[in-house]
Structure formats: structure tokens, C-alpha cells
């Protein structure tokens, strides 16, 4: 591996940095976007059962907000009802929608960075290719015969060009795949949060009648 890096020349180092960063972001997103941390499957039903007869106490609401992203959204509606028992259904929805937007922004963290790496890596590989081509032409003799100049420099220029192109694609393709995967997963979570908040709003509105 070290010999490949040496053969690719200095343009490959930014690509290596991008690959390390992309790997760290993928691992972080896998951990942060676990179902148990975003939208536990039975949490909504538990909240509906607890609030069937009365609004949960502020302490229970705090515990709910610390449970997960879904719990944070649901807790905002319960907190609004605790602070103002006569608040309208529109106010409940507004409180949960505002919290939902904050949660969505937090869940989308680092995805734009991963998408940038997926887009920039091929260009960085192309930059390395251009550097390699410059070294190839720089190894030519004044007569224009490349092999008559410096064969070692010619071979180095070719290796720089090919290795950087390949490494740029190696970094970009997995980054793009994981970005699309996390994007789809996040969209599914946001739909769950939206439907859950809608159901809780109707439940709390029925409870007050």
C-alpha cells in the first residue's frame, strides 16, 4: 500500500484525507441514525397509553425528550399542553413542527459533507491525473521524444495519472452509495416523526374534549 501511495505522488494525499474523513462520517452516521436513537417503534404507543387519561407530568416529559428524536418531538407537544392547558390544536402542531425542524436539521448533520466528498473526489483524482500528464510532458526531450528523455520520470507521471484517477473513484463511489443510503433512511425517519406528531396532536385534542 505504501508503494502505491509513493507511486501516486503527492496529489493522492488529499484523497487519502477525504477517504479517512468519509469513513469516519459513515461510522458516525450509522451510530447516530440507529432506530433506537431516532424513532423507537413502540414509543408512540407508550406515550398514547400514558396520556390516555391525563397529561404526563413535567418530569415524565423531560424523560421522554431525552429518550430519542421522536421522544423530543412528542415531548414538545406535551410540554406546550402542560404550560398552557387551553392551547389550541394548531398551537400543539406548531410546537411539534418547530421541534421537528430542529431535530431534522440535527439528523442531517454531516450528510452534506459526505455528499461533497462524493462529488469532489473524482475531481481531485482528475487533478492528480493532470499533474501526472504534466510530469509526462515534462520528461520529453526538446525533440518531443518522450522515451528519449527520462524514462523513470515518464513512468512516474503515468503512475501518478492512473493511481489518482482510480483512487478518486474508489473514494467517490462508496461515499455516494452511503450518502444515498443515509438520505433515504433519514427521509423514512422524518416521515415517522411527522405521522407520530400528527397522531399525538389528534389524541391530545380528543383528550381535552
Which three three-digit cell numbers place residue 64? 421522554
Grid cell digits, residue 62: 423531560
Half-sphere exposure of 147 (CA within 13 A, CB side): 0
What's residue 146's pLDDT?
Answer: 45
Burial of 147 (0-12, 13-18, 19+ CB in 10 A): exposed
Query: Would you say residue 170 has pLDDT above 90?
Result: yes
- Find out whether 39 and 68 touch, Cβ atoms under 8 Å: yes
Look at the block and give the residue holding cell 428524536: 69
Mean pLDDT within 188-193: 95
- pLDDT at 147 exceeding the cut of 50: no
Question: 100-137, pLDDT tens digit by residue?
Answer: 999 999 999 999 999 999 999 999 988 888 887 877 77
Pairs from 201-209 (Cβ < 8 Å, separation ≥ 24)? 201/77, 201/89, 201/92, 201/93, 201/96, 202/89, 203/48, 203/51, 204/51, 204/55, 204/77, 204/78, 204/81, 204/89, 204/92, 205/89, 205/92, 207/51, 207/52, 207/55, 208/85
pLDDT confidence bin for 3, thresholds 50/70/90: low
Q: Are 121 and 18 in contact (CB under 8 A)?
A: yes
Q: Is 133 left (phi over 0), alpha (psi -120 to 50) or beta?
A: alpha
How far apart CA 199 and CA 206 sit, in angstroms, is 11
Virtual torsion, Cα 80, 84, 89, 95, nearest 10 deg? -20
Output the nine-digit C-alpha cell for 206: 380528543
> Is residue 83 over pLDDT 80?
yes
Q: Which pTM was predicted?
A: 0.82
Task: Identify the weakest region by mean pLDDT among 5-9, 53-57, 178-182, 197-201.
Answer: 5-9
Is pLDDT at 22 greater than 70 in this prediction?
Answer: yes
Amino acid at each position: 500500500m505504501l508503494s502505491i501511495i509513493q507511486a501516486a505522488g503527492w496529489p493522492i494525499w488529499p484523497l487519502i484525507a477525504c477517504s479517512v474523513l468519509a469513513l469516519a462520517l459513515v461510522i458516525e452516521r450509522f451510530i447516530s441514525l440507529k432506530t433506537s436513537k431516532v424513532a423507537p417503534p413502540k414509543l408512540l404507543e407508550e406515550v398514547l397509553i400514558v396520556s390516555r387519561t391525563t397529561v404526563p407530568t413535567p418530569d415524565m416529559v423531560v424523560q421522554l425528550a431525552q429518550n430519542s428524536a421522536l421522544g423530543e418531538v412528542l415531548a414538545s407537544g406535551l410540554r406546550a399542553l402542560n404550560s398552557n392547558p387551553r392551547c389550541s390544536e394548531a398551537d400543539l402542531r406548531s410546537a411539534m413542527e418547530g421541534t421537528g425542524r430542529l431535530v431534522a436539521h440535527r439528523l442531517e448533520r454531516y450528510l452534506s459533507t459526505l455528499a461533497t466528498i462524493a462529488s469532489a473526489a473524482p475531481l481531485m483524482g482528475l487533478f492528480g491525473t493532470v499533474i501526472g500528464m504534466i510530469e509526462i510532458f515534462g520528461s520529453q526531450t526538446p525533440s518531443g521524444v518522450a522515451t528519449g528523455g527520462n524514462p523513470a520520470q515518464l513512468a512516474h507521471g503515468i503512475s501518478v495519472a492512473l493511481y489518482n484517477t482510480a483512487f478518486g473513484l474508489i473514494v467517490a463511489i462508496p461515499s455516494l452509495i452511503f450518502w444515498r443510503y443515509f438520505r433515504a433512511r433519514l427521509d423514512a425517519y422524518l416521515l415517522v416523526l411527522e405521522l407520530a406528531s400528527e397522531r399525538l396532536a389528534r389524541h391530545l385534542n380528543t383528550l381535552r374534549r
